[in-house]
Amino acid sequence: MSRKKARIGAMQLLYSMEINKEFDAKNIHEFLESYDFLEDEKSYIKDLTEDLLSKLGDIDKILSENLEGWTLERLAKVDREILRIAVYEFLYRDDIPNEVSINEAVAIAKKFSTNDSPKFVNGILASIFKKLKDESN
């Protein structure tokens, strides 16, 4: 499995759901059948998307608390979904090192967002990572 490909797929699915305001299982199924993913990538995308959506309030709260001078609504939709995935991984995926989540988020931002997005994504995630690390000590 390419976890990077799965993260990109999850970002694209969440972006599509956000644009269309349709957050149901049917959309997840249609998305996964429309693209060429390995079975374990499909499983990762499906599980991540469903679990992330069920915890979206907590994830968005953490993001909002770390957006100095910004609101979630002002963020580019691509950046918002990239950040949501990384924060989800920070909070709920102990099998993924936080540094990996940050690096992957920055790489996806480089590929799919604006020139300023990688630095922005890195800064927000580094701030959240530091706070979470401080809270756990």
pTM of the model: 0.94
Q: Give me Rg for the CA atoms of the chain.
A: 14
CA distance linking residue 66 with residue 78, whole number of Å: 17
What is residue 55's predicted lDDT score, i.e. its pLDDT?
Answer: 97
CA distance linking residue 44 with residue 32, whole number of Å: 11
CA distance linking residue 131 with residue 10, whole number of Å: 25
DSSP string, 50-61: HHHHHTHHHHHH
Domain annotation for the chain: domains and CATH numbers: 3-136 (1.10.940.10)
CA 22 to chain centre: 17
- The yes-or-no verdict on residue 7 having pLDDT over 80 is yes
pLDDT tens-digit series, residues 68-118: 888 999 999 999 999 999 999 999 999 999 999 999 999 999 999 999 999
- The yes-or-no verdict on residue 42 having pLDDT over 90 is yes
The residues near 96 (Cβ < 8 Å, ≥ 6 apart) are: 3, 89
What is residue 2's predicted lDDT score, i.e. its pLDDT?
Answer: 87
The residues near 10 (Cβ < 8 Å, ≥ 6 apart) are: 44, 45, 48, 49, 52, 85
pLDDT tens-digit series, residues 13-37: 999 999 988 888 889 999 999 999 9
What is residue 129's predicted lDDT score, i.e. its pLDDT?
Answer: 95
What is residue 23's predicted lDDT score, i.e. its pLDDT?
Answer: 86
Question: What are the start-end ranges of the E strands in the chain?
Answer: none
